[in-house]
Amino acid sequence: MYSRLKGLMVENSITQQNLAKILDISISTLNFKINGKSDFTIMEAKKVSRILNKSIEEVFNI
C-alpha cells in the first residue's frame, strides 16, 4: 500500500478520479495500484511524481 502517495494526493487536492484521468487508467485500476494489488508502470510513477512535484522515491517510499 502506498500511504505516502495517498497523503500527498490529499495535500495536493488530487482525487483518485483526477489522477486516474491523468494516467489514462480507470479509477478501479488506480485503486488496485494504490492498495498494492497491482504495480505502477515506470511511466505512471514518473507522471505521478511530476504531478506531485516529488521524487519517485519520496512518493513510493523506495
CA-based nearest residue to 9, from 49, 42, 40, 61: 49
Q: Does residue 50 fall inside a structural domain?
A: yes
Q: Does residue 62 fall inside a structural domain?
A: no
Q: Does residue 59 fall inside a structural domain?
A: no
Tens of pLDDT along 1-59? 688 999 999 999 999 999 999 999 999 999 999 999 999 999 999 999 999 999 999 99
DSSP state of 13: T
Residue 61 pLDDT: 84
Please state the domain count of the chain. Answer: 1
Expressed as residue numbers, the domain containing 28 is 3-54
Q: Does residue 25 fall inside a structural domain?
A: yes
Q: How confident is the model at residue 62 (pLDDT cuts 50, 70, 90)?
A: confident
CATH number at residue 36: 1.10.260.40
